[in-house]
Amino acid sequence: MEKADNPSDLSKGVTKKFFIKTWGCQMNVYDSTRMHDVLESNGYMRTDQIEEADLVLLNTCHIREKAAEKVYSSLGRIRKLKRNRADSNRPLTIGVTGCVAQAEGKEIIRRESAVDLVVGPQNYHCLPDIVERSRKHGPQIDTEYSVEEKFERLPLLASHNQFKRRSITAFLTVQEGCDKFCTFCVVPYTRGPEFSRPRNQILEEASALVDVGVKEITLLGQNVNAWHGKDANGGEIGLGGLLNELAMIKGIRRLRYVTSHPLDMDKSLINAHRDLESLMPYLHLPIQSGSNRILKAMNRKHTVQDYLSIVDQLRIARPDLVLSSDFIVGFPGETDRDFQDTLEIVQQICYSQAFSFKYSRRPGTPGSDMENQVDEGVKSERLERLQSLLKKQQLSFNTDCIGKVIDILLEKSGRDANQLIGKSPWLQSVIVDSKIGSIGDLISVKVTGATLNSLHAELS
């Protein structure tokens, strides 16, 4: 498609508008921003009103059955919108992107014929072309794995030209895909093999983000700590080395990374936690289960003891580091004893927060074919017990902050007009009076109150 210099250069002199709905992990949030960039640099404008849109994209998640099914109920509603617009001069184009698109491909169009395009996560650079093709030639499907091209060809920060600020914090994908094949997980199939973006591309993107006002960058990857690449002299580096380089970019006040696999937590990354002040003392390090038997069945390739040893090393390197995790309850074969082991590991580690899910059978993964599936009722009961323990730990972590002086980065306005919300180094939301600073400030505050989901603080 010809690149339009100006949105109004598009056919018939009318600016086309797009609407994106995003489900799933941070990677999808990041991808939606990049789709925004590629569409905007091809003359489209974003709208938050679905009724105004000429193009509706559903950026989907396939991780659990519920997430995937949401797409079809949404499509049912959007189909009606499309039907109402059929005879107008503004037909509606509907696209499904993300992990459901990759996993189900043309099955989506078979189930929902209103869909015009299905685009997998690694083809977003082709999006404007695909939209045009679907308008001319009918439904289009593109689910090739072309991750390298995606990052080379996606334009960055289209909105930069219009001096629009992104936000104070931004995601930056450095790694995509997964070669680990945990037996419960669809990611290796939806995101394809592991790929690390080249260092230069990452440093350039980070600098561009700083130029538009970003102060905190969270590096993303399905296995972010499997990132590897070459430094300026051609030497091999891992995520620790990359973080060292990013920490030198003036203007980056805070760095984070997510999600890490215990097996890829190497010495240089642990040392980065010791050496880099801007690397926040918070680590999301999923263990999934506290039972070695279940970890083996999950093909996690680490034991509970491996995990504990990594946590010890991290805490020596950075004593104020806190941890979060993901847990799956009711994986096939999980007994009461195995579940008890999970509760014990939670007691032992003490998480500042964590995510927990009932095992969901995913078609095509080895776990879904295992015979010893756990009863739904048992799963629900275990999830409740685990979540109540995790909540207790989260509340006690927050309460322990009362009276402490901490640094917060002010990120956005609060629910009340006179409030601002900042983030603590440990990713807690901190509510303060708006008079004490402006969005983007990194300030010291004294914590005065705590609830399960936030802290209150005042100028120290």
- Residues in the site for ligand F3S, rule: CB under 6 A? 24-25, 27-28, 61-63, 98-99, 186-187, 190-191, 222
Name, in order, each residue with C-beta under 8 angstroms of 422's C-beta and a sequence gap of 6 or more.
408, 409, 410, 411, 429, 430, 432, 443, 445
Of 127 and 186, which has the nearer Cβ to ligand SF4?
186
Site string for ligand SF4, 429-448 (x = CB under 6 A): --------------------
Q: According to CB under 6 A, which one of 125, 256, 362, 382 is a site residue for ligand SAH?
A: 362
- Measured CA to CA, the distance from residue 170 to residue 98 in angstroms comes to 20
Q: How many residues bind ligand SAH (CB under 6 A)?
A: 17
Q: Which stretch binds ligand SAH (CB under 6 A): 11-19, 32-40, 179-187, 226-234?
A: 179-187
Of 51 and 181, which has the nearer Cβ to ligand SF4?
181
- Measured CA to CA, the distance from residue 32 to residue 38 in angstroms comes to 10
Q: Which stretch binds ligand SAH (CB under 6 A): 71-79, 92-100, 116-124, 355-363?
A: 355-363
Q: Footprint of ligand SF4 on residues 283-342 (CB under 6 A)?
A: none
Q: According to CB under 6 A, which one of 22, 123, 183, 223 is a site residue for ligand SAH?
A: 223
Q: How many residues bind ligand SF4 (CB under 6 A)?
A: 10
- Compute the least distance from the CB of residue 170 to ligand F3S, in Å: 18
190 near ligand SF4 (CB under 6 A): no
Torsion of CA 340, 398, 170, 36, to 10 degrees: 70
Judged by beta carbon distances under 5 to 8 A according to partner kind, the member of ligand F3S, ligand SF4, ligand SAH, none in contact with residue 181 is ligand SF4
The tokens for 389 are 């323990």
Q: How far apart are the first and last CA of the chain?
A: 56
10 near ligand SAH (CB under 6 A): no
Q: According to CB under 6 A, which one of 222, 225, 289, 356 is a site residue for ligand SF4?
A: 222
- Measured CA to CA, the distance from residue 311 to residue 190 in angstroms comes to 30
Of 258 and 406, which has the nearer Cβ to ligand SF4?
258
Of 98 and 290, which has the nearer Cβ to ligand F3S?
98
Of 299 and 434, which has the nearer Cβ to ligand SAH?
299
Q: Which stretch binds ligand SAH (CB under 6 A): 53-61, 140-148, 353-361, 433-441?
A: 353-361
- Compute the least distance from the CB of residue 153 to ligand SAH, in Å: 26
- Compute the least distance from the CB of residue 222 to ligand F3S, in Å: 6
Q: Which stretch binds ligand SAH (CB under 6 A): 67-75, 153-161, 342-350, 356-364?
A: 356-364
Q: According to CB under 6 A, which one of 222, 225, 394, 398 is a site residue for ligand SAH?
A: 222
175 near ligand SAH (CB under 6 A): no
- Measured CA to CA, the distance from residue 227 to residue 244 in angstroms comes to 14
Of 287 and 447, which has the nearer Cβ to ligand SAH?
287
445 near ligand SAH (CB under 6 A): no
Of 146 and 223, which has the nearer Cβ to ligand SF4?
223
The tokens for 88 are 């107008």
Q: Residue length, the chain?
A: 460
**Which residues of this chain interact with ligand SAH, rule CB under 6 A?**
63-64, 184-185, 187, 222-223, 259, 261, 286, 288, 326, 328, 357, 359-360, 362
**Which residues of this chain interact with ligand SF4, rule CB under 6 A?**
178, 180-182, 185, 187-188, 222-223, 261
